[in-house]
Amino acid sequence: MASWTFRLAGIALAAATSASAWAQEVTLRLHQFLPPQATIPSKAIVPWIKKVEAESNGRIKVQMFSAMQLGGTPPQLFDQARDGVADITWTVLGYTPGRFNKTEVFELPFITGLSSEASSKALWEYVQKNAQDEFKDVQLLTVHTHGPGLFHTKHPVTGLESLRGMKIRGGTRIVNNMLTKLGATPVGMPVPAVTEALSKGVLDGTTIPWEVAPSLKVPELVKNHTTFAGNNGLYVTTFAFSMNKAAYNRLPADLKKVIDNNSGLETAALFGRAMDEGDKPGRDMAVKAGNNIVALDVAETQRWRRTASTVETDWANEMKGKGIDGARLASEARSLIAKHSK
């Protein structure tokens, strides 16, 4: 009789433990570097949060901290996810140069198309095949790109010659090398610093996509924007949406599944679509302000492409010195971009 009593007690304890695990609730702190009204925070991260909260029946709560409210600088965000300073972070990979060597291939000049959704899906697939080791310290939720970057300048850029000597912000080392090849003077800084740098004359212009221009007040601070002919953008930047491994591992199996279901290819597409949709109002704001939008023709674009092509050569040679077949990775990236751009 006593043994049955112990067994029943054990079963009751197991059931209580199981019920407790099933009912477990968790609050995750998400940290990112832009104002909450910017495109990705408002049009990708907030919908992602709502979806995760709904699919977990409210058992996962996500608090978003914007504009570095939890402290630190944008280049520290990836490590904040790794170290548990925040549970989830969103950041630019190029803010930590030399760290994401294989992923960096997507930042080469004129390699991606005109759709952020397509290049973001291609980037996710590329990372799964070629660069998982670069994200081994976090639970990677997704990666993505922005739409085509372009020039926003105080004086018109109508050809290569007019760019020479201009102090232009570049967001990553690849973009800075490209700017050097094109004759500009690159100034590296995270994107939130652009507004003040333009207003104080530290910069003559910046390279960013249309989508982030309104939140940085760029169409108010400069009056010229230069775009390119053809089906390839000048450049893109790569981003990571990452979760602390311990925070992920602490979740019960059913909540892990919620996170898993909101990671990967479709989440890359969500972030990419947000970027694509954000480009339209960014451009519209410049048009409404009466700004000068320069569209370089095919011949002039080809001049830029030829000059910028040496950036890829430099990168491939650098990767070779690190034991990485950069030429193969560039070919792989182009193939995946073409696949997802169809």
Q: pLDDT for 111-156, tens place per residue?
A: 999 999 999 999 999 999 999 999 999 999 999 999 999 999 999 9
pLDDT of residue 16: 43
What are the tens digits of pLDDT across the range 284-313?
Answer: 999 999 999 999 999 999 999 999 999 999
Asked if the model's pLDDT at residue 15 lies above 70, the reply is: no
Do 295 and 316 share a domain, yes or no? yes
What is residue 8's predicted lDDT score, i.e. its pLDDT? Answer: 46
Q: Which of 8-22, 49-63, 121-135, 309-323 has the lowest mean pLDDT?
A: 8-22
| 187 lies in the same domain as 327 | yes
Average pLDDT on 300-328 reads: 97
Instruction: Examine the fold and report which residue of 278, 299, 333 is the final residue of a domain before the chain moves on.
Output: 278
Per the domain annotation, does 11 fall within a domain?
no
Assigned domain for 187 exists: yes
Question: Do 130 and 50 lie in a common domain?
Answer: yes
In a domain, 4, yes or no: no
User: Residue 140's pLDDT is what?
Assistant: 98
Let me know: does 154 contact 168? Beta carbons within 8 Å: no
> What's the CA gap between 196 and 214, in Å, rounded?
14
Query: Same structural domain for residues 186 and 169?
Result: yes
Q: Are 315 and 174 in contact (CB under 8 A)?
A: yes
Asked if pLDDT for residue 12 goes beyond 50, the answer is no
Report, as an integer, the average pLDDT of 254-275.
Answer: 98
pLDDT higher than 80, residue 266:
yes
In a domain? residue 295: yes
Residue 21: pLDDT band with limits 50, 70, 90: very low
Indicate whether 154 and 227 sit together in one domain: yes
Q: Please report the pLDDT score of residue 54 as a whole number.
A: 98
Concatenated DSSP letters of 54-100: HHTTTSEEEEEE-TTTTSS-GGGHHHHHHHTSSSEEEEEGGGSTTSS
Question: What integer pLDDT is reported at residue 333 of this predicted model?
Answer: 98
The domain total for the chain is: 2
Are 191 and 127 found together in one domain? no
In a domain, 160, yes or no: yes
Q: How far is CA 155 from CA 38, 205, 223, 299, 338, in A?
A: 26, 8, 7, 22, 35
Last residue of a domain, one of 256, 278, 300: 278
In which band, very low, low, confident or very high, does the pLDDT at 7 lie, cut at 50, 70 and 90?
A: low
Q: How far apart are CA 282 and CA 284, in angstroms?
A: 5
User: Of 121, 137, 129, which Cα lies nearest the Cα of 83?
Assistant: 137
- Has residue 15 been placed in a domain? no
The DSSP code for 238 is E
Residue 213: its pLDDT value, please? 95
- φ, ψ of residue 140 to 5 degrees: the values are -75, 120
Assigned domain for 59 exists: yes
Average pLDDT, the chain: 94
Q: CA 219 to CA 308: how far, in whole Å? A: 26
pLDDT (0 to 100) of residue 255: 98
Q: How far apart are CA 88 and CA 114, in angstroms?
A: 29
Element (H, E) at 303: helix 298-321
Q: Which helix (H) or strand (E) holds 293?
A: strand 292-295
CB 204 within 8 A of CB 186: no
Domain co-membership, 46 together with 57: yes
Same domain, 79 and 166: no
Per-residue pLDDT tens digits for 76-86? 999 999 999 99
Rounded to 5 degrees, φ, ψ at 275 are -65, -45
Domain holding 301: CATH number?
Answer: 3.40.190.170
Q: For residues 111 and 210, state if they share a domain.
A: no
Judge if 69 and 117 occupy the same domain: yes
Domain that holds residue 143: 26-147+237-278
Residue 20: pLDDT band (50, 70, 90) is very low
- pLDDT score for 53: 98
Same domain, 30 and 66: yes
User: Is residue 20 domain-resident?
Assistant: no
Listed residue (115, 77, 132) closest to 236, CA to CA = 115
Indicate the residue among 252, 278, 304 that finishes a domain: 278
Judge whether 153 and 286 are in contact, CB under 8 Å: no
Residues 273, 175, single domain; the answer is no
First-to-last alpha carbon distance for the chain, in angstroms, is 71
